[in-house]
Amino acid sequence: DTGVSQDPRHKITKRGQNVTFRCDPISEHNRLYWYRQTLGQGPEFLTYFQNEAQLEKSRLLSDRFSAERPKGSFSTLEIQRTEQGDSAMYLCASSLDVWGRPYEQYFGPGTRLTVT
């Protein structure tokens, strides 16, 4: 078990550029979540996959954001036409649907995005 990994760990981009982040969950986990976290706040839910199906999206997830999880393995989060307000830590988490253990999520180290 190598844990949840995210790439890149840091990304600096200019306003208006597109960025893509990757998350590799724990291999046997069927659920994958994306969160955004700003300084001093807890993680905010963005979207969630059960296997390859995207089951929920937050209203925070504007049409500039898109997430995929092809084949139910790794996931990507793309932000188009970045804005300064997109600067945040983007966290990925995975979990396994186990009776009695709802929402025991394992988080990756995050990708810190800075939009200049």
Partner 1 sequence: LAKTTQPISMDSYEGQEVNITCSHNNIATNDYITWYQQFPSQGPRFIIQGYKTKVTNEVASLFIPADRKSSTLSLPRVSLSDTAVYYCLVGGWGSSASKIIFGSGTRLSIRP
Q: Which residues bind partner 1 (CB under 8 A)?
A: 4, 33, 35, 40-45, 48, 55-58, 89, 91-93, 101-110, 112
Of 9 and 81, nearer to partner 1 (C-beta) is 9
Of 19 and 23, nearer to partner 1 (C-beta) is 23
CA dihedral 23, 94, 65, 81 (to 10 degrees): -30
Look-up of token digits 């500039």 = 64
Smallest gap from Cβ 45 to partner 1, in A, equals: 5
C-alpha–C-alpha distance, residues 53 and 2, integer Å:
24
Of 66 and 112, nearer to partner 1 (C-beta) is 112
Cα–Cα distance list, 42 to 75, 87, 91, 96 (Å): 22, 15, 11, 22
DSSP β-bridge partners for residue 114: 12
Smallest gap from Cβ 16 to partner 1, in A, equals: 27
Smallest gap from Cβ 110 to partner 1, in A, equals: 5
